[in-house]
Structure 1
């Protein structure tokens, strides 16, 4: 008789998972693939919830939505939950608690960083890896080992309300930041890490009509080469351990029940070996929205055979429903075993069996201070100066009017998927419509959250201040008026007060843009908050036109998580600054840029169109498509009524100093198994220190397949003192330039490659070519290259 046991830490994790699996009943197996809300296990005071013994009889493997205002309370509650699973279940399998962590651990008392689109604007994946490392330590301390982050979707449609959760329109940028975040969160040893979840697989940010949850339609080449690129990079380069399915149909089949998506592509082609977590309510939607299954049992059977491992946040088609399918002979238990094995392996890799409990003592004050400097630096780097007629930086002696919906609020710097926004959504939710578990959740939260509104919370807890208050730190005098809300038409009195403030000031800072929330409240962006028209809201345009008519110099600050089509009054402003939902230091960073305390160095992670009708307008359109198509005959522009090019292109960003590129060098010929070396000298030609993002774009002129007219192949943020220079070198493996060829094999083939270096996707500062020569090479996923190596040598 074997003496081996799954608790033997000397055994390989796969073997331990197999040993434990043999000891589990069918009900216990199916339970591991489900999740429960915390109030199904405990009350807010830590005592047993009603019905907890029934929950623990076939224990779920996961707990969802455990959120508290105080880190010590959070750890206490996590410990109480874990104690019950470890001591009061037959096999003592620890539970896996998950949380959102897109731009900070979504829990009270923890630092908030700029939202993901703002992180992308920094072009600083090294700092995002540092941020994720801090999130990892914070989550582990409080007992959480699974993060439902980051969002790896490539966002090409600004109508979609969740663009701010992504790293923007470029697959290379999305890959670079996805890899950095995954590395920071999971660490070098998962036993000291937290599992990252890449979402939403696949094509979720380019659904029909820009609507959340709608269908995704694309051919297999585009799906693999573009939309899967960040996911595959995170899998191959950072060992991504979890993936979340999209709500969308993919080629007519809901992603959550698609073997082609979750098994053939994700596991077979991309090499993923972790577990797939369902987006919340996926199987319910398969039945009740997409009508691709008629019952929960059918949805569960389809999902598990497709490769969906875990159903979140509560049972619908898994758990006892799934067990019944096996008992009735409708499902082979081996399908269940495959998913359970993946979940158990993850728990063993995390060291959860040996160390399931949170840290015993939490220093709440110390936790609140963690990441202050990092959040502030990321906020500063995320600010993008897109236009400047010389009015910026502002003199500190000026009287400034700060006008607009972003002038007097600190809260709107905190979008959906931050704790303050979650608190606000919870407060706005109509609890009278809730029943059952949701109603229990509403009452469960009450004792855990002090009665303070979200605006007060961000000011008192995070020290966040509105833009007007931050501008007052620099200006000679400040007058401020809201003028209008984000979407509601302004009253005549409100407009007149704004106009009067402008008239009595030297310069006007017009603080416009978006607001992000979940589902409820006044908003322009967020989950299920999509827009058919991406124009700046009419209320803000009316205010801007009235204020501009005064004739004072106009500086427009756009706080936004996605591109808006800008009216003439904004386009004609003396200066335009694009900010993001920057968290506690978002407004401070903008004020520092306005007055020159910080030299702007951010770059747009998306293209800003001239009009909604241009969508899509991303820079990497295929050759011969959209504004990348040559103009035929006598035509001078692609549309009759306007240019087809963006108003401001991806990668664009100005500075208070100047930068030049010169001395280009490159290898004239590179083998299909080789590496192309491209280098140039970047010089700060101005009078102040600054940072420039040197960007490398390539065009691979492949045979028989249409490729992008240009694609980003590398970037590097370079900081230089006045008059100083640096030698930037990019090393691009030929395997990075591959594509799905005519035979539907991913390959790198001989081609003539054009490239340019510049400071934006429309800045062809230096241009060159090289030849990819040699034999065509079909590449396995393990042989692919995803990110170039970029270095700088100071001269």
Structure 2
């Protein structure tokens, strides 16, 4: 495994950063690999295959010999008889399996296929490696809070190193769905509400998993998902329809997918949702016109778990055979878990409903990816039980988990400098997440184990806290008899309270939509009671989405958003609590005032009646909340005191020129800090109304006490483009407002400039 030291001072431009990453040597190598024709021996396989064997290459099933908690992560029926599945693989009825039980399982299956099958086409082994394999990293939305795509590349690299050691060739990640409705449980799998941040993290994760050589034994093929706009599900309800304009689809939701494909991902996954009445699994405009004709994608598209079959319940297909025909002709190359392609494609070809050359094309795409992964040269290159054990949870991997964890933590408040804590103070650690091997790794972990993760109490004690009492106080969603009384007594006897509350693993993730994105009532009762003890209180939130905070939680002097941080969770949180690390995370998703504001995103439109305050009538606000966030996108504090000043902004930007803008950022506090300096722009007047702000760039800078730094950004005309009336990229001369600020709602330093037409 290759490790790379990350500089603490990295410029991360929006479109420029994506372009730079995609112009890297690794991208050139991937382009060359994709352009190479299949070897004649592999190409000849297609001519030798029966239609049943071709259908088998397009048929992916869950492993009968499942790994970890795989069988509980999907609907019933994922597992079956291993001997029967082995026989199906030998008969050519399977292209591969997913979420299997490690290298030994893969070895047995691959050996049987390579010795006994007629064509000796190697299996591909896939898995949901979402935020780590055995070493677990923060949930993706938490990791996005680092505002450090290079960190995501590094954690994906380690995840690939471990997963490939266990025989895994292909991961169903990254999820790049823009999530603007925090009720949606799968918010935790992506990079939040912003398109630009989503693009950068999509590129980073693809590059991390795939490395620089896809044939290497630590490279894993990425799969960009869920195509497309799954994060826009109506009402934040998982699997629900999506109905957005083509403009919104192309401007907001599609760019992160394209960034991931452009970074070299040769597989994509169709989404469960429909768009404008057409399920994604049956949408040729999406899967062919956009993905292949416009974007030039040459890899293959896999359906999501029984996604083709689900078009029947949606009322788009009359039966399994019809669903197979629709999905395949729409552009889904490979079926996952329904077994429909193997059952029905041969008959559809024979009766002329599906041209065999279309089947051949999809098979060629699948074989091309297997070839790119080096499976035809060495089917066992990633299958080695000894290597699997040696790569699992190494010291370096766990150190990276701890680093990623502390960089993901966001400090929302720190009134009166409650934090960092003095290790000599008496600490009352209270709440359902105070201790115990549960709810640490987070949702969507197939191979990790909470039993191996560090809980909060352990981390705090390991950091050297001298006096810590632990009291649960309540369960996650139920009261605990006598719990509040015990918690209040503990608080009264302490100098400071750490209140560990929030969501359990089961409250976030797939199929975990919530109508109220709040801390559960029993925990709120606990918080209110403990707050009355009158001791300084630090709320340590566990969550997989933005939350609407209220009451004693909202009013607590200090609040840390700690997401689900993975293997080293307790150590990472302790590092921040006691000042070994100054919090540097920023919110990738807004925390609204109230649940009823959902969906909410910072880059909303002004409307014709913007509301500058809560006093003017007939303005765009709710009766009880402004059209704003309690804690906005980009918000986060450090232990330093950060001041912005000295904006340098030219008055004009030439049509084909650049605009160099800068501001001074100073740490006037007594502690070292890391600040995420953010550049936002608004096009004041345009032929299509523009958002109140759009993130264009950001830079993370380290500042010692008393230090100041001039932070510079460069804007080009391309950075100001939007989709015009005819849905083509355009930009118009005029006035643009600009902010260099610490969040999407902060003023920071602000000014305006003119984009001037002309040569």
- TM-score normalized by structure 1? 0.84
The aligned residue for residue 724 of structure 2 is: 741
Deviation at 1:10, TM superposition (A): 14
Deviation at 1:363, TM superposition (A): 6.2
Matched, 1:330 2:327: no
3-state SS, counterpart of residue 647 of structure 1: strand
Aligned equivalent of 2:467, options 474, 477, 489:
477
3-state SS, counterpart of residue 64 of structure 2: helix
Q: Is the 8 A contact 1:689 1:719 kept in 2?
A: yes
Any idea what the Cα deviations from partners look like across 1:540-577, whole Å, max 9, x if unmatched? 11111111122222211111111221121111112111
Matched, 1:714 2:742: no
The aligned residue for residue 458 of structure 1 is: 450
Deviation at 1:599, TM superposition (A): 1.1
Deviation at 1:672, TM superposition (A): 4.8
When residues 75 and 51 of structure 1 are mapped into structure 2, their CA distance, relative to the original with a 3 A threshold, is closer
- TM-score normalized by structure 2? 0.88
Aligned-partner Cα distance in 1 for 2:108–2:155: 28
Q: Is the 8 A contact 1:103 1:114 kept in 2?
A: yes
Aligned equivalent of 2:144, options 111, 117, 120:
120
Aligned-partner Cα distance in 1 for 2:515–2:739: 35
In structure 2, runs of 5+ residues without a counterpart are 1-32, 68-80
3-state SS, counterpart of residue 630 of structure 2: coil
Q: Is the 8 A contact 1:402 1:468 kept in 2?
A: no
Q: Is the 8 A contact 1:175 1:230 kept in 2?
A: yes
Any idea what the Cα deviations from partners look like across 1:167-188, whole Å, max 9, x if unmatched? 1111111111111111111223
Aligned equivalent of 1:39, options 64, 70, 90:
64
Which has the larger displacement, 264-273 or 631-640? 631-640
3-state SS, counterpart of residue 501 of structure 2: strand
The aligned residue for residue 401 of structure 2 is: 375
Aligned equivalent of 1:544, options 527, 533, 550:
527
The aligned residue for residue 269 of structure 1 is: 294
When residues 772 and 75 of structure 1 are mapped into structure 2, their CA distance, relative to the original with a 3 A threshold, is same
Aligned-partner Cα distance in 2 for 1:214–1:635: 33
The aligned residue for residue 284 of structure 1 is: 309
Aligned-partner Cα distance in 1 for 2:34–2:611: 58
3-state SS, counterpart of residue 191 of structure 1: coil
When residues 41 and 34 of structure 1 are mapped into structure 2, their CA distance, relative to the original with a 3 A threshold, is farther
The aligned residue for residue 426 of structure 2 is: 399
Deviation at 1:27, TM superposition (A): 1.4
Aligned equivalent of 1:309, options 333, 348, 351:
333
The aligned residue for residue 28 of structure 1 is: 53
Aligned-partner Cα distance in 2 for 1:775–1:271: 33
1:221-240 equivalent positions in 2, closer than 5 A: 221-236=247-262, 238-240=263-265
When residues 478 and 420 of structure 1 are mapped into structure 2, their CA distance, relative to the original with a 3 A threshold, is farther
When residues 603 and 275 of structure 1 are mapped into structure 2, their CA distance, relative to the original with a 3 A threshold, is same
1:175-574 equivalent positions in 2, closer than 5 A: 175-192=199-216, 193-236=219-262, 238-287=263-312, 289-315=313-339, 317-357=340-380, 358-360=382-384, 361-362=386-387, 364-369=389-394, 370-390=396-416, 391-419=418-446, 458-459=450-451, 461-462=452-453, 464-467=454-457, 470-471=460-461, 473-491=463-481, 493-517=482-506, 524-574=507-557
Deviation at 1:292, TM superposition (A): 1.0
Matched, 1:151 2:185: no
Matched, 1:646 2:638: no
Structure 1 vs Structure 2 CA RMSD: 2.6
1:24-173 equivalent positions in 2, closer than 5 A: 24-39=49-64, 49-50=83-84, 52-67=86-101, 74-105=102-133, 110-173=134-197
Q: Is the 8 A contact 2:670 2:705 kept in 1?
A: yes
The aligned residue for residue 613 of structure 1 is: 596
3-state SS, counterpart of residue 97 of structure 1: strand
Aligned-partner Cα distance in 2 for 1:511–1:630: 34
Any idea what the Cα deviations from partners look like across 1:180-213, whole Å, max 9, x if unmatched? 1111112233333321111111121221111100
When residues 207 and 11 of structure 1 are mapped into structure 2, their CA distance, relative to the original with a 3 A threshold, is closer
The aligned residue for residue 428 of structure 1 is: none
When residues 20 and 755 of structure 1 are mapped into structure 2, their CA distance, relative to the original with a 3 A threshold, is farther
Aligned-partner Cα distance in 2 for 1:235–1:327: 34
Q: Is the 8 A contact 1:403 1:480 kept in 2?
A: yes
Any idea what the Cα deviations from partners look like across 1:203-247, whole Å, max 9, x if unmatched? 2122111110000110000001101111112223x1221111110
The aligned residue for residue 521 of structure 1 is: none
Which has the larger displacement, 9-18 or 716-725? 9-18
When residues 266 and 366 of structure 1 are mapped into structure 2, their CA distance, relative to the original with a 3 A threshold, is closer
Count of matched residue positions in the alignment of Structure 1 and Structure 2: 707
Which has the larger displacement, 540-549 or 633-642? 633-642
Any idea what the Cα deviations from partners look like across 1:239-293, whole Å, max 9, x if unmatched? 2211111101111011111112111222233332221111111012111x31210
Aligned-partner Cα distance in 2 for 1:740–1:268: 19
Q: Is the 8 A contact 1:622 1:628 kept in 2?
A: no
The aligned residue for residue 732 of structure 1 is: 715
Aligned equivalent of 2:560, options 551, 574, 577:
577
When residues 652 and 609 of structure 1 are mapped into structure 2, their CA distance, relative to the original with a 3 A threshold, is same
3-state SS, counterpart of residue 130 of structure 1: helix
Q: Is the 8 A contact 1:472 1:478 kept in 2?
A: no
Aligned-partner Cα distance in 1 for 2:577–2:687: 50
When residues 666 and 762 of structure 1 are mapped into structure 2, their CA distance, relative to the original with a 3 A threshold, is same
Deviation at 1:598, TM superposition (A): 1.7
Any idea what the Cα deviations from partners look like across 1:136-169, whole Å, max 9, x if unmatched? 2223333222110011011111111111111111
Any idea what the Cα deviations from partners look like across 1:47-89, whole Å, max 9, x if unmatched? 971474454223321212213xxxxxx2222122112222322
3-state SS, counterpart of residue 200 of structure 1: strand
Q: Is the 8 A contact 1:275 1:339 kept in 2?
A: yes
When residues 649 and 628 of structure 1 are mapped into structure 2, their CA distance, relative to the original with a 3 A threshold, is farther
When residues 702 and 333 of structure 1 are mapped into structure 2, their CA distance, relative to the original with a 3 A threshold, is farther
Aligned-partner Cα distance in 2 for 1:40–1:26: 27
Runs of 4+ in 1 over 4 A off after TM superposition: 14-18, 625-637, 671-674
